[in-house]
Structures are given as C-alpha cells and as structure tokens.
Chain A
C-alpha cells in the first residue's frame, strides 16, 4: 500500500500565525487612528461620505478599471480552448467556479487576478506568459492565481488597505481640510489639523509596511496552493525563475508602466535591487524557491 502523504498537504501553521499577527497589528493601528481622528474633531459626516464612496468604488469597480487601464481583453473558451481546459480542471480541483480569463497584450511574462469574490474573478495573463512558458509551468502559474481567488486575496487586501487609503487621502487633501476646519473652529482647529495630518502620515507609513507584509504571506500561501493543486512544487519554482529571467530582459519603460499593478502580479515587475524586501508586495525569489523546495521535501516524507 502506498503510504499516506498528508504531511505536506493542508495549511502551514506558521504562515497562518504570521498573517494573524500582521492583521492584528493592522487592526490595532486602525483603531488607534480612529480614536485620534475622533479626538481631533474632524468634520466627520463629510469625511465618512467621501471615504465610503471611495471604498465602494474601489471594491466594486477596481477590477474592471484594472482591466481597462492594462488594455486586457477577456477571451472566450472558444478563443482560448487550451487555457480554459487547463483552468477548468484546476477550478474543479479547488472547488471554485471557473473564472474568466483575460489576455494583456504585452511581452512581459506575468499574471494577476482581479475580482472581489470567486464568482466575479478574472485571471489576466500576459501574452508574454503564454508565449514563453511551457504548459506545465503555465498551469502552475494559473494554479497560483486560482489560489488567490480561493483565498479571497483581492478582498482581504482591499479591506486591509481601506484605512491606509483614508490616511493617504487625508494627507493628499491636507490643504482642503485645513481651510474647512479653519472656518469651522477658528484658532483651535489649526493645531488639531496638524495632529491629524501627522497621524495620517504615520498611519499611512506603518500600514504600508504591514499591508505589504500581509501581501507577502498571501503570496507564500498562493505558492503553496499552486503546489497542492498541480502536485508539483517544482513547476512553479521553475516558472518563477523563468519569469524572473525574462523580466530582466524586458525594456525599462515597460517595467515602469507595470509597477502600479504589482500587488496583483504573480511576480512583481521591479528590478531586484530597487526595493528592500520589507517594502515589497512579494517575497524575494530565493525565498519563494526555498519555500517550494521545502514543500517538495515534505511531500517525499
């Protein structure tokens, strides 16, 4: 009888734990932020209204906006039968509805997922990814994206980013709020606004790091899901290496255009030396490869 190989399968407790800590820190930070805002007596009704509108639009329209700005177009099962056949089986294994697939006409090999719920999800792959990756590696990348859908990563990151967005918004609108408050409250307002501004900068800076930390943990989880779905951690590892190698060859202009979409990509379009890992949305390639190799070893136990 073949032995039971359950050890590698399931979830990584350490990873879940680190996600939990990160999310707790984020929640604590946001709570403190709200308390400070309240104390400062910000013109709340208006603020809340604008923020709500922003959050709603981000949550519901961001995916079509991303598709629009990247020039991706959704392909039908008839246009890409092989791709859909691949995704359909993976979706059946993962027990999620079959997502829509879009193709982005760029030579840079990459993939990303949009949509805040599994029913609305779209996986976008670049033409470069389709052209440059062997089938098995393409499947590993698709499995990585499907795990993002199954783990509701777009919703988790969007919600986690909510207050960071508010903070950034306040920082940007500093002058606008400054005048408003001055009229309302006279001299006392100036000081309060200064405090709000400083706190906003602080919240934005800290949440920036925390959200990116969370994002990196979700990436590890998606790598893990890909390995589980395909049964081969090695395929994703070699796909990541290939994408990395081809990324370095891609012209600079393309890279800078792509940087805004990093949180969604399977592999960030930033040159290796441009940012420290703590500020990046994805773990470094050596770390991801090491993680996948460890999974491979666990599978053999």
Chain B
C-alpha cells in the first residue's frame, strides 16, 4: 500500500501470494531432522467467507479438485466453518508432499476464481504440538506454538524460526506472527 493509496483511502488488500508455499516441500527434511518433529498429517487453508452467491458455488469446485486429486493423491479434505466467519479447508494425508500439493492446487483455484484477497493463511500441523503458518499476504512462514488460555510459547517459536531461517522464507517481523487460535487440526 503506497503513499497515495493511504492519502486517498484506497483500501487495498494485497493478492494472496501462493508461490512460496513449495519452500516447505524442500525444507521439510531439514525441518524434521533439525527440530526432531514430524508432519502430523494435517494442513488447512483458512479462507474468509464472502457474502455472495458465487462463493457458495465455489464449494463444488473445491470438492472437484479434491476428488480429481484423490485418484492420484491419497489426500482427503473437508471443511470446518469456525465461529469467526472463516472457513478451514482441512487436508489430511500421510505424505506431506501430497498434502502440500493438494493445498496448493486448491489455493490456486481459489485465487483464479477471484478470491485471492480472501486467502488468510495456510497452516501445517507438526508433532509435538506446534504449527507452521504460511501467510498469503507476505509469502512467508512463521511458527505458532499455542498454549492454554490463548498464550503462546514465544521462546520456542523464536527457536524454531531461528532453526528454519536458512531453509525457508521466515517472516522477519515477529509482530506479523499473527496467532490463529483453536485450529481444527
């Protein structure tokens, strides 16, 4: 958002950037060995629900991609609507590569359908109990370690970020490590 956009009140939400997502595929091996943790078999796209009729028909397209993918990729998907008006399209599968692929295909489809600005984030669950979040606004990853009653283990998040830095784009500004509480993953 430039100076003149601010001056004239042109609210711009940057298009979701999906291209850096595959950095996770290449970094996965390093991630698992260096952090001694494994992919928990679940990932999700978090999407802002939009109030128009086109959005409802979108649901069919998502299912279509998944059933098409189902033949090649052992990935299942379902969606959860949370109380805050966001839709979680949850992907499950043993092989992280397949899950990342399915998630990427879906995000690309959503973007082409004109919902690029509704893409909030993608979230990957890892054991033991932490998440990697890909933010579509900033095309970068950051760790999220939730604890009880909306607290975060900031020390652990910082350590994870430091470890992963050489292998994938990590969001530099910790102020942009937005929390995503109560994920259905």
Chain A residues in the interface with B (C-beta under 8 A): 1-6, 9-11, 15-16, 19-20, 23, 77-78, 81, 84-86, 88-89, 91-95, 97-98, 119, 135-136, 139, 147, 150-153, 156, 217-218, 220-222, 224-225, 228-234, 296, 299-300
Contact = CB atoms under 8 A, between A and B. Distances in A.
A77 to B, nearest CB: 6
A6 B150 contact: no
Contact of B9 (A89, A135, A221, A230): A221
B51 A94 contact: no
B120 interface: yes
A89 B84 contact: yes
B121 to A, nearest CB: 7
Interface in B84-135: 84-86, 112-115, 117-118, 120-121, 135
Contacts of A119: 175
20 contacts: A2-B115, A4-B113, A10-B12, A16-B9, A19-B8, A81-B149, A81-B181, A85-B84, A89-B178, A93-B13, A95-B1, A95-B14, A136-B85, A150-B6, A150-B11, A221-B9, A224-B11, A228-B13, A299-B51, A300-B53
A84 B150 contact: yes
B61 interface: yes
Contacts of B61: 1-2
Query: Contact size class for B?
Result: 35 or more
B81 to A, nearest CB: 13
Contact of A11 (B11, B114, B118, B121): B11
Given A91-B178, A231-B51, 13 more contacts: A2-B54, A3-B54, A4-B113, A11-B8, A93-B48, A93-B120, A94-B13, A135-B83, A220-B9, A228-B11, A232-B51, A232-B85, A233-B51
Nearest to B8: A16
Nearest to B117: A9
A92 B54 contact: no
Nearest to A300: B52
Contacts of A81: 149-150, 181
Contact of B8 (A20, A85, A94, A233): A20
Interface in B1-53: 1, 5-14, 48-53
Contacts of A84: 150, 179
B9 A92 contact: no
Name which of B8, B55, B112 has the most chain A CB atoms within 10 A of its CB.
B8
Interface of B: 1, 5-14, 48-55, 57-58, 61, 83-86, 112-115, 117-118, 120-121, 135, 137-138, 149-151, 173, 175-176, 178-181
A249 B117 CA distance: 39
Given A229-B13, A300-B53, A5 B114 contact: yes
Given A81-B149, A300-B53, A152 B6 contact: yes
B89 to A, nearest CB: 14
Given A93-B120, A231-B50, A4 B178 contact: no
A10 B11 CA distance: 7
Given A9-B117, A86-B84, A231-B48, A2 B8 contact: no
A34 B9 CA distance: 27
A193 to B, nearest CB: 36
A10 B135 contact: no
